[in-house]
Amino acid sequence: MKTTTGFCPEKYDKGEKIIIYGASSYGELAFWGLKQNGLSPDYFRDRAVIKDKYMGIPVIRPREVEKFKDDYIIIASADYFHEIKNHFEKKGMQHIYDLEYLLLDTEIEIDKLTKRARDIFMNKSNYIDVIYQNQGINNINFTRIQYVVSERCSLRCRDCTHLMQFYQHPQNINLDSYKDSFDKLLSVTDSISEMRILGGDSHPHST
């Protein structure tokens, strides 16, 4: 059951400001979705202090958003979507929206998108799954599960976020134990929106 509302230009009171919560690829999609509907955000919200502007729009910091109680917040994030929404609801904010209309009912011009935003747009069902998750107190929903199947990688890239160059004794996972633990996870989970199989280099270990 969906407990949130998609931002829809027809319901927008043009006197209010529009803030896109998240100056990243989802924010980029929200930006172009608004543009396609003849609108433009007033602000992006982002934690990164180095960003003063994103896509030519001023960036405000997290706490500043709470000053805009009567304005329109579009949550351009799949990670922590419901946590962000709950936070603003507790602060008494009324106009909190998701991207459903902008992603599904708006003709976003793909050629204008960065590669990352295009990839997300092509997999927009991940975001849609997240916003439809039932968030009752007895539900366990995961936005994303990342499973590292191997610590081995021959490339050892300097900036590897999995720190592969630092493993002195890299291991492959045991596929039987992986299956067992995944079965256990599924038996107690209501939904998983996205599952990623990662390495190291997962290909040599894919059989």
Residues contributing to the site for ligand SF4 (CB under 6 A): 153, 155-157, 160, 162, 164, 199-201
Q: Which is nearer to ligand SF4, 108 or 153 (CB)?
A: 153
Instruction: State in angstroms the smallest separation of the CB of 142 from ligand SF4.
Output: 22
Task: For ligand SF4, give the closer residue by CB, 37 or 150.
Answer: 150
Q: Residue 35's Cα: distance from chain center in Å?
A: 20
Nearer to ligand SF4, 60 or 149 (CB): 149
Least CB distance to ligand SF4 at residue 196 (A): 13
Q: What is the distance of C-alpha 106 from the center of its chain?
A: 19
Shortest reach from residue 151's CB to ligand SF4, in Å: 9
Cβ atoms of residues 143 and 189 within 8 Å = no
Residue nearest to ligand SF4 (CB): 160
Residue 99: what are its φ and ψ, rounded to 5°?
Answer: -95, 10
CB of 170 to ligand SF4, least distance (A): 10
Distance CA 109, CA 104 (A): 13
Find the angle CA(58)-CA(62)-CA(65) to the nearest 5 degrees.
Answer: 70
What residue has token string 């579009």? 74
* Cis-peptide into 6, omega within 30 deg: no
Q: Of the two residues 110 and 198, which places its CB atom closer to ligand SF4 in the complex?
A: 198
Give me the torsion for CA of 113, 5, 124, 128, rounded to 10°.
170
Residue nearer to ligand SF4 on the CB measure, 99 or 164: 164
Minimum Å distance from CB 206 to ligand SF4?
14
